[in-house]
Protein backbone atom coordinates (compact mmCIF):
# COMPACT_ATOMS: atom_id res chain seq x y z
CA UNK A 1 0.00 0.00 0.00
CA UNK A 2 1.19 3.50 -0.80
CA UNK A 3 0.81 6.48 1.44
CA UNK A 4 -0.49 9.72 -0.01
CA UNK A 5 2.90 11.39 0.43
CA UNK A 6 4.54 8.75 -1.75
CA UNK A 7 1.92 9.20 -4.47
CA UNK A 8 2.50 12.96 -4.43
CA UNK A 9 6.25 12.37 -4.68
CA UNK A 10 5.77 10.20 -7.79
CA UNK A 11 3.65 12.94 -9.39
CA UNK A 12 6.20 15.60 -8.42
CA UNK A 13 9.18 13.61 -9.77
CA UNK A 14 7.39 12.87 -13.05
CA UNK A 15 6.41 16.52 -13.47
CA UNK A 16 10.01 17.67 -12.99
CA UNK A 17 11.59 14.78 -14.93
CA UNK A 18 12.16 16.81 -18.08
CA UNK A 19 15.27 18.96 -18.40
CA UNK A 20 13.29 22.12 -19.16
CA UNK A 21 11.47 21.86 -15.80
CA UNK A 22 14.64 21.64 -13.69
CA UNK A 23 14.85 24.68 -11.44
CA UNK A 24 11.37 25.90 -12.39
CA UNK A 25 9.57 25.15 -9.14
CA UNK A 26 5.93 26.21 -9.16
CA UNK A 27 4.75 26.96 -5.58
CA UNK A 28 1.12 26.25 -6.49
CA UNK A 29 1.95 22.87 -8.06
CA UNK A 30 0.50 20.77 -5.24
CA UNK A 31 -2.62 22.97 -5.00
CA UNK A 32 -3.45 22.21 -8.63
CA UNK A 33 -3.63 18.44 -8.04
CA UNK A 34 -7.15 17.32 -7.17
CA UNK A 35 -8.48 14.11 -5.59
CA UNK A 36 -9.52 12.60 -8.92
CA UNK A 37 -6.00 12.95 -10.33
CA UNK A 38 -4.48 11.36 -7.21
CA UNK A 39 -6.93 8.45 -7.51
CA UNK A 40 -6.00 8.01 -11.18
CA UNK A 41 -2.28 7.94 -10.34
CA UNK A 42 -2.85 5.49 -7.48
CA UNK A 43 -4.82 3.16 -9.77
CA UNK A 44 -2.12 3.34 -12.45
CA UNK A 45 0.61 2.57 -9.89
CA UNK A 46 -1.41 -0.34 -8.52
CA UNK A 47 -1.95 -1.75 -12.00
CA UNK A 48 1.76 -1.45 -12.88
CA UNK A 49 2.88 -3.10 -9.65
CA UNK A 50 0.27 -5.85 -9.86
CA UNK A 51 1.48 -7.18 -13.21
Q: What is the pTM of this model?
A: 0.55
Among 4, 3, 5, 26, smallest CA distance to 15 is for 26
Domain count across the chain: 1
Look up the domain containing 9 and give its range: 4-50
**What pLDDT is recorded for position 8?**
76
What string of pLDDT tens digits covers the 51 residues of the chain?
A: 557 777 777 777 777 776 666 666 676 777 878 888 888 888 888 888 886
What are the C-alpha distances in Å from 1 to residues 12, 14, 31, 35, 45? 19, 20, 24, 17, 10
Amino acid sequence: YFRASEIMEVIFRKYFASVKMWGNFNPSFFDSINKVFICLVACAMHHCLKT
